[in-house]
Structure 1
Amino acid sequence: MLILGIDPGSRITGWGVLDVTTPKPRYVASGCIRTRGEDLAQRLAQIYAGIGELIAVHGPGEFAIEQVFLSKNADSALKLGQARGTAIVCAANHGVPVSEYAARQIKQAVTGNGGADKGQVQQMITAVLGLDGAPQADAADALAIALTHAHARLGLVQQGSYGGRRRAGRGSGWRDYRPS
Protein backbone atom coordinates (compact mmCIF):
# COMPACT_ATOMS: atom_id res chain seq x y z
CA MET A 1 0.00 0.00 0.00
CA LEU A 2 1.13 3.55 -0.75
CA ILE A 3 0.78 6.64 1.43
CA LEU A 4 0.66 10.10 -0.15
CA GLY A 5 1.95 12.80 2.21
CA ILE A 6 1.13 16.45 1.53
CA ASP A 7 2.79 19.60 2.89
CA PRO A 8 0.24 22.20 1.77
CA GLY A 9 1.06 25.70 0.56
CA SER A 10 -0.65 28.16 -1.75
CA ARG A 11 2.52 28.67 -3.83
CA ILE A 12 4.40 25.39 -3.25
CA THR A 13 2.72 22.18 -2.10
CA GLY A 14 5.18 19.43 -1.27
CA TRP A 15 4.26 15.80 -1.86
CA GLY A 16 5.83 12.45 -1.09
CA VAL A 17 4.84 8.85 -1.70
CA LEU A 18 5.97 5.94 0.48
CA ASP A 19 5.39 2.22 0.01
CA VAL A 20 4.46 0.63 3.35
CA THR A 21 3.96 -2.96 2.20
CA THR A 22 7.27 -3.90 3.85
CA PRO A 23 8.24 -3.45 7.51
CA LYS A 24 10.48 -0.52 6.57
CA PRO A 25 8.74 2.23 4.55
CA ARG A 26 10.25 2.56 1.07
CA TYR A 27 10.62 5.79 -0.91
CA VAL A 28 8.63 5.87 -4.14
CA ALA A 29 8.61 9.49 -5.31
CA SER A 30 8.40 13.09 -4.13
CA GLY A 31 8.28 16.61 -5.47
CA CYS A 32 6.42 19.89 -5.45
CA ILE A 33 3.33 21.30 -7.05
CA ARG A 34 4.34 24.86 -7.95
CA THR A 35 1.42 27.12 -8.72
CA ARG A 36 1.48 30.12 -11.02
CA GLY A 37 -0.42 33.38 -11.05
CA GLU A 38 -1.72 35.80 -8.47
CA ASP A 39 -5.35 34.67 -8.43
CA LEU A 40 -5.81 32.43 -5.37
CA ALA A 41 -8.75 30.57 -6.90
CA GLN A 42 -6.61 29.58 -9.89
CA ARG A 43 -3.73 28.47 -7.65
CA LEU A 44 -6.14 26.32 -5.62
CA ALA A 45 -7.43 24.79 -8.86
CA GLN A 46 -3.82 23.98 -9.81
CA ILE A 47 -3.26 22.31 -6.42
CA TYR A 48 -6.43 20.25 -6.84
CA ALA A 49 -5.40 19.19 -10.36
CA GLY A 50 -1.87 18.33 -9.24
CA ILE A 51 -3.02 16.18 -6.32
CA GLY A 52 -5.64 14.55 -8.54
CA GLU A 53 -2.90 13.62 -10.98
CA LEU A 54 -0.71 12.24 -8.18
CA ILE A 55 -3.59 10.09 -6.94
CA ALA A 56 -4.23 8.84 -10.50
CA VAL A 57 -0.55 8.03 -11.11
CA HIS A 58 0.36 6.48 -7.74
CA GLY A 59 -2.99 5.15 -6.48
CA PRO A 60 -2.32 5.75 -2.78
CA GLY A 61 -4.41 3.82 -0.27
CA GLU A 62 -4.08 6.57 2.34
CA PHE A 63 -3.44 10.31 2.44
CA ALA A 64 -1.67 12.22 5.23
CA ILE A 65 -1.52 15.99 5.62
CA GLU A 66 -0.20 18.51 8.11
CA GLN A 67 -2.75 20.13 10.42
CA VAL A 68 -3.21 23.89 10.46
CA PHE A 69 -0.83 25.73 12.75
CA LEU A 70 -1.21 29.19 14.22
CA SER A 71 0.50 31.97 12.32
CA LYS A 72 1.22 35.58 13.17
CA ASN A 73 0.08 36.57 9.68
CA ALA A 74 -3.68 35.97 9.39
CA ASP A 75 -3.68 36.32 5.59
CA SER A 76 -0.98 33.65 5.22
CA ALA A 77 -2.80 31.34 7.62
CA LEU A 78 -6.04 31.70 5.65
CA LYS A 79 -4.32 30.95 2.34
CA LEU A 80 -2.58 27.93 3.88
CA GLY A 81 -5.91 26.72 5.25
CA GLN A 82 -7.50 27.06 1.83
CA ALA A 83 -4.68 25.12 0.16
CA ARG A 84 -4.96 22.46 2.84
CA GLY A 85 -8.74 22.25 2.41
CA THR A 86 -8.32 21.91 -1.35
CA ALA A 87 -5.94 18.98 -0.87
CA ILE A 88 -8.29 17.27 1.61
CA VAL A 89 -11.30 17.68 -0.69
CA CYS A 90 -9.32 16.25 -3.60
CA ALA A 91 -8.36 13.17 -1.59
CA ALA A 92 -11.91 12.73 -0.30
CA ASN A 93 -13.36 13.10 -3.82
CA HIS A 94 -10.99 10.35 -4.98
CA GLY A 95 -12.03 8.07 -2.11
CA VAL A 96 -8.69 8.19 -0.29
CA PRO A 97 -8.91 8.24 3.55
CA VAL A 98 -7.31 11.34 5.09
CA SER A 99 -5.23 11.54 8.28
CA GLU A 100 -3.89 14.75 9.82
CA TYR A 101 -0.83 15.36 11.98
CA ALA A 102 0.44 18.41 13.87
CA ALA A 103 3.74 19.91 12.72
CA ARG A 104 5.30 19.30 16.13
CA GLN A 105 4.23 15.64 16.07
CA ILE A 106 5.74 15.16 12.59
CA LYS A 107 9.07 16.68 13.63
CA GLN A 108 9.08 14.59 16.82
CA ALA A 109 8.36 11.37 14.91
CA VAL A 110 11.04 11.98 12.28
CA THR A 111 13.85 13.74 14.17
CA GLY A 112 13.07 13.07 17.84
CA ASN A 113 12.75 16.84 18.36
CA GLY A 114 9.36 18.54 18.06
CA GLY A 115 11.11 21.87 17.47
CA ALA A 116 13.37 20.68 14.62
CA ASP A 117 13.96 22.99 11.66
CA LYS A 118 13.45 22.19 7.97
CA GLY A 119 17.14 21.33 7.50
CA GLN A 120 17.02 18.72 10.27
CA VAL A 121 13.88 17.18 8.73
CA GLN A 122 15.60 17.03 5.31
CA GLN A 123 18.67 15.33 6.81
CA MET A 124 16.64 12.72 8.69
CA ILE A 125 14.38 11.96 5.72
CA THR A 126 17.45 11.51 3.51
CA ALA A 127 19.05 9.16 6.06
CA VAL A 128 15.95 7.17 7.09
CA LEU A 129 14.79 6.57 3.52
CA GLY A 130 18.32 6.01 2.18
CA LEU A 131 18.08 8.71 -0.48
CA ASP A 132 21.09 9.68 -2.61
CA GLY A 133 20.45 13.37 -1.98
CA ALA A 134 18.19 15.59 0.06
CA PRO A 135 14.81 16.32 -1.52
CA GLN A 136 13.61 19.92 -1.75
CA ALA A 137 12.48 21.16 1.70
CA ASP A 138 8.72 21.04 0.96
CA ALA A 139 9.02 17.55 -0.54
CA ALA A 140 11.05 16.41 2.50
CA ASP A 141 8.30 17.76 4.77
CA ALA A 142 5.69 15.82 2.77
CA LEU A 143 7.77 12.63 3.07
CA ALA A 144 8.03 13.30 6.81
CA ILE A 145 4.23 13.53 6.99
CA ALA A 146 3.87 10.23 5.10
CA LEU A 147 6.49 8.61 7.34
CA THR A 148 4.69 9.87 10.46
CA HIS A 149 1.49 8.29 9.16
CA ALA A 150 3.31 5.03 8.42
CA HIS A 151 4.59 4.99 12.01
CA ALA A 152 1.14 5.90 13.38
CA ARG A 153 -0.36 2.93 11.51
CA LEU A 154 2.05 0.71 13.45
CA GLY A 155 1.38 2.47 16.75
CA LEU A 156 4.87 3.99 16.84
CA VAL A 157 3.72 7.63 17.06
CA GLN A 158 2.75 8.90 20.47
CA GLN A 159 -0.80 10.28 20.50
CA GLY A 160 -0.23 13.17 22.90
CA SER A 161 -1.87 16.56 23.10
CA TYR A 162 -0.82 17.19 19.51
CA GLY A 163 -1.79 13.74 18.27
CA GLY A 164 -2.83 12.76 14.79
CA ARG A 165 -6.45 12.82 13.78
CA ARG A 166 -8.15 10.68 11.19
CA ARG A 167 -11.01 11.64 8.94
CA ALA A 168 -13.11 9.19 6.99
CA GLY A 169 -13.24 9.48 3.27
CA ARG A 170 -13.11 7.45 0.66
CA GLY A 171 8.26 6.42 -9.84
CA SER A 172 11.31 7.23 -8.44
CA GLY A 173 12.89 10.62 -7.92
CA TRP A 174 11.31 13.93 -7.06
CA ARG A 175 9.86 16.31 -9.58
CA ASP A 176 7.98 19.56 -9.83
CA TYR A 177 4.47 19.48 -11.18
CA ARG A 178 3.50 22.63 -13.04
CA PRO A 179 -0.15 22.53 -14.14
CA SER A 180 -0.85 23.76 -17.65
Structure 2
Amino acid sequence: MRVLGVDPGLTRCGLGVVDGTPGGPLTVTAAGVLRTPADAEIGHRLLLIERGIERWLDEHQPEAVAVERVSSRYNVRTVMGTAQASAVAILCAARRGLPVTWHTSSEVKAAVIGSGGAGKAQVGATVTRLLRLDAPPEPADALALAICHIWRAPALNRLQQAHAVARPAPARARLRKDTIR
Protein backbone atom coordinates (compact mmCIF):
# COMPACT_ATOMS: atom_id res chain seq x y z
CA MET A 1 0.00 0.00 0.00
CA ARG A 2 1.28 3.47 -0.87
CA VAL A 3 0.06 6.29 1.39
CA LEU A 4 0.50 10.04 1.21
CA GLY A 5 0.69 11.52 4.70
CA VAL A 6 -0.26 15.19 4.99
CA ASP A 7 0.71 17.26 8.02
CA PRO A 8 -1.36 20.32 7.09
CA GLY A 9 -0.26 23.85 7.64
CA LEU A 10 -0.68 27.13 5.84
CA THR A 11 2.98 28.19 6.03
CA ARG A 12 4.47 24.67 6.08
CA CYS A 13 2.51 21.70 4.77
CA GLY A 14 4.44 18.47 5.32
CA LEU A 15 4.07 15.63 2.82
CA GLY A 16 5.43 12.11 3.02
CA VAL A 17 4.86 9.04 0.86
CA VAL A 18 5.43 5.61 2.38
CA ASP A 19 5.08 2.15 0.83
CA GLY A 20 4.43 -0.84 3.04
CA THR A 21 2.11 -3.43 4.50
CA PRO A 22 1.04 -4.04 8.09
CA GLY A 23 3.84 -6.00 9.74
CA GLY A 24 6.03 -5.74 6.64
CA PRO A 25 8.92 -3.50 5.76
CA LEU A 26 8.29 0.19 5.18
CA THR A 27 9.95 2.32 2.51
CA VAL A 28 9.93 6.08 2.18
CA THR A 29 9.23 7.11 -1.40
CA ALA A 30 9.30 10.87 -0.90
CA ALA A 31 9.24 13.49 1.84
CA GLY A 32 9.07 17.25 1.64
CA VAL A 33 7.46 20.45 2.75
CA LEU A 34 5.25 22.80 0.74
CA ARG A 35 5.93 26.36 1.90
CA THR A 36 3.86 29.46 1.28
CA PRO A 37 4.83 33.07 1.97
CA ALA A 38 3.28 34.35 5.19
CA ASP A 39 2.62 37.76 3.64
CA ALA A 40 0.67 36.42 0.64
CA GLU A 41 -3.14 36.47 0.41
CA ILE A 42 -4.86 33.40 1.86
CA GLY A 43 -6.36 32.45 -1.51
CA HIS A 44 -2.96 32.50 -3.19
CA ARG A 45 -1.42 30.44 -0.38
CA LEU A 46 -4.17 27.80 -0.64
CA LEU A 47 -3.70 27.71 -4.42
CA LEU A 48 0.04 27.07 -3.95
CA ILE A 49 -0.74 24.22 -1.55
CA GLU A 50 -3.30 22.76 -3.97
CA ARG A 51 -0.83 22.86 -6.86
CA GLY A 52 1.85 21.23 -4.74
CA ILE A 53 -0.39 18.43 -3.51
CA GLU A 54 -1.65 17.80 -7.04
CA ARG A 55 1.97 17.47 -8.23
CA TRP A 56 2.68 14.97 -5.44
CA LEU A 57 -0.43 12.95 -6.28
CA ASP A 58 0.53 12.91 -9.98
CA GLU A 59 4.12 11.94 -9.28
CA HIS A 60 3.67 9.37 -6.51
CA GLN A 61 0.22 7.85 -7.25
CA PRO A 62 -0.76 6.97 -3.65
CA GLU A 63 -3.61 4.56 -2.95
CA ALA A 64 -4.77 6.51 0.11
CA VAL A 65 -4.25 9.82 1.85
CA ALA A 66 -3.81 10.24 5.61
CA VAL A 67 -4.36 13.73 7.00
CA GLU A 68 -3.68 14.94 10.53
CA ARG A 69 -6.94 15.87 12.22
CA VAL A 70 -6.95 19.51 13.27
CA SER A 71 -6.55 19.96 17.00
CA SER A 72 -8.29 22.74 18.87
CA ARG A 73 -5.50 23.12 21.42
CA TYR A 74 -3.86 25.79 19.27
CA ASN A 75 -5.04 29.37 18.91
CA VAL A 76 -7.92 30.03 16.54
CA ARG A 77 -5.74 31.61 13.85
CA THR A 78 -3.47 28.55 13.73
CA VAL A 79 -6.45 26.20 13.69
CA MET A 80 -8.04 28.08 10.78
CA GLY A 81 -4.90 27.92 8.64
CA THR A 82 -4.37 24.25 9.46
CA ALA A 83 -8.02 23.44 8.71
CA GLN A 84 -7.86 25.29 5.39
CA ALA A 85 -4.71 23.44 4.30
CA SER A 86 -6.32 20.17 5.44
CA ALA A 87 -9.41 20.89 3.34
CA VAL A 88 -7.22 21.46 0.27
CA ALA A 89 -5.58 18.05 0.75
CA ILE A 90 -8.98 16.39 1.18
CA LEU A 91 -10.32 18.10 -1.95
CA CYS A 92 -7.32 17.01 -4.02
CA ALA A 93 -7.77 13.40 -2.89
CA ALA A 94 -11.53 13.51 -3.48
CA ARG A 95 -11.02 14.66 -7.07
CA ARG A 96 -9.18 11.42 -7.70
CA GLY A 97 -11.50 9.18 -5.70
CA LEU A 98 -8.77 8.42 -3.16
CA PRO A 99 -9.84 7.41 0.33
CA VAL A 100 -8.92 9.93 3.02
CA THR A 101 -8.47 9.04 6.68
CA TRP A 102 -7.92 11.49 9.52
CA HIS A 103 -5.66 10.66 12.43
CA THR A 104 -5.08 12.81 15.49
CA SER A 105 -1.54 13.55 16.54
CA SER A 106 -1.93 11.35 19.63
CA GLU A 107 -3.31 8.46 17.52
CA VAL A 108 -0.29 8.68 15.23
CA LYS A 109 2.15 8.77 18.14
CA ALA A 110 0.41 5.87 19.88
CA ALA A 111 0.45 3.76 16.70
CA VAL A 112 4.02 4.53 15.68
CA ILE A 113 5.75 4.99 19.03
CA GLY A 114 3.46 3.36 21.55
CA SER A 115 2.77 6.55 23.50
CA GLY A 116 0.31 9.25 22.47
CA GLY A 117 2.26 11.82 24.46
CA ALA A 118 5.61 11.39 22.69
CA GLY A 119 7.54 14.49 21.66
CA LYS A 120 8.71 15.61 18.22
CA ALA A 121 12.25 14.30 18.79
CA GLN A 122 10.92 10.85 19.63
CA VAL A 123 8.70 10.87 16.52
CA GLY A 124 11.70 11.80 14.37
CA ALA A 125 13.91 9.11 15.92
CA THR A 126 11.26 6.40 15.58
CA VAL A 127 10.42 7.29 11.97
CA THR A 128 14.16 7.28 11.18
CA ARG A 129 14.49 3.78 12.62
CA LEU A 130 11.31 2.39 11.03
CA LEU A 131 12.24 3.67 7.58
CA ARG A 132 15.92 2.69 7.99
CA LEU A 133 17.18 6.22 7.30
CA ASP A 134 20.54 7.73 8.20
CA ALA A 135 19.08 10.92 9.68
CA PRO A 136 15.70 12.15 10.90
CA PRO A 137 13.61 13.14 7.88
CA GLU A 138 11.78 16.37 7.34
CA PRO A 139 8.86 16.19 7.78
CA ALA A 140 8.82 13.28 10.20
CA ASP A 141 5.19 13.96 11.18
CA ALA A 142 3.88 13.47 7.62
CA LEU A 143 5.81 10.19 7.32
CA ALA A 144 4.49 9.10 10.73
CA LEU A 145 0.94 9.76 9.48
CA ALA A 146 1.52 7.54 6.46
CA ILE A 147 3.04 4.77 8.63
CA CYS A 148 0.14 5.00 11.09
CA HIS A 149 -2.33 4.64 8.25
CA ILE A 150 -0.56 1.63 6.76
CA TRP A 151 -0.59 -0.10 10.13
CA ARG A 152 -4.15 0.89 11.10
CA ALA A 153 -5.91 0.64 7.70
CA PRO A 154 -6.87 -3.06 7.92
CA ALA A 155 -8.45 -2.61 11.35
CA LEU A 156 -10.23 0.58 10.27
CA ASN A 157 -11.60 -1.17 7.17
CA ARG A 158 -12.94 -4.05 9.24
CA LEU A 159 -14.53 -1.61 11.67
CA GLN A 160 -16.20 0.33 8.84
CA GLN A 161 -17.51 -2.90 7.32
CA ALA A 162 -18.90 -4.00 10.68
CA HIS A 163 -20.68 -0.66 11.12
CA ALA A 164 -22.11 -0.87 7.60
CA VAL A 165 -23.53 -4.34 8.28
CA ALA A 166 -24.88 -3.43 11.70
CA ARG A 167 -26.44 -0.16 10.62
CA PRO A 168 -27.77 0.12 7.08
CA ALA A 169 -27.31 3.47 5.36
CA PRO A 170 -30.28 5.84 5.60
CA ALA A 171 -32.47 6.29 2.56
CA ARG A 172 -31.11 8.95 0.27
CA ALA A 173 -32.97 12.24 0.51
CA ARG A 174 -34.47 13.69 -2.63
CA LEU A 175 -32.50 16.63 -3.98
CA ARG A 176 -34.33 19.87 -4.54
CA LYS A 177 -33.86 21.59 -7.87
CA ASP A 178 -31.81 24.36 -6.26
CA THR A 179 -29.42 21.94 -4.52
CA ILE A 180 -25.86 21.92 -5.76
CA ARG A 181 -24.90 18.55 -7.18
TM-score by length of 1: 0.81
Q: Which deviates the most, 29-38 or 59-68?
A: 29-38
1:29–1:72 distance in 2 versus 1, CA, 3 Å: closer
Q: Tell me, what secondary structure is at the counterpart of 2:127?
A: helix
Aligned counterpart for 1:42 among listed residues 41, 44, 52: 44
Q: Tell me, what secondary structure is at the counterpart of 2:93?
A: helix
Distance of 1:76 and 1:143 partners within structure 2: 22
Counterpart position of 2:30: 29
Q: Tell me, what secondary structure is at the counterpart of 2:155?
A: coil
Alpha carbons 1:25, 1:150 under 8 Å: kept: no
Distance of 2:25 and 2:44 partners within structure 1: 38
Unaligned runs of at least 5 residues, structure 1: 160-180
Deviation at 1:91, TM superposition (A): 1.0
- Flag the structure with more relative contact order, 1 or 2, with Cα contacts below 8 A and sequence separation at least 6: 1
1:59–1:72 distance in 2 versus 1, CA, 3 Å: closer
TM alignment of 1:2-13, pairs within 5 A: 2-13=2-13
Deviation at 1:19, TM superposition (A): 1.0
Higher Cα radius of gyration: 2
Counterpart position of 2:18: 18
Give the number of aligned pairs.
155
1:68–1:94 distance in 2 versus 1, CA, 3 Å: same
- After superposition, give the CA deviation of every residue in 1:48-88 in whole Å (9 maximum; x if it has no partner): 10000000000111110111111341111111111111111
Distance of 1:14 and 1:114 partners within structure 2: 20
Distance of 1:97 and 1:155 partners within structure 2: 15
- After superposition, give the CA deviation of every residue in 1:14-62 in whole Å (9 maximum; x if it has no partner): 0111112682222111111111242111111111100000000001111
Superposition CA RMSD, Å: 1.7
Instruction: List, as ranges, runs of 4+ consecutive aligned residues in structure 1 with deviation greater than 3 Å.
Output: none
Counterpart position of 1:80: 82
Distance of 2:92 and 2:54 partners within structure 1: 6
Pair 1:116 & 2:131 matched: no
Counterpart position of 1:169: none
Unaligned runs of at least 5 residues, structure 2: 160-181
Alpha carbons 2:2, 2:20 under 8 Å: kept: yes
Alpha carbons 2:21, 2:151 under 8 Å: kept: no
Q: Tell me, what secondary structure is at the counterpart of 1:17?
A: strand
Distance of 1:153 and 1:66 partners within structure 2: 15
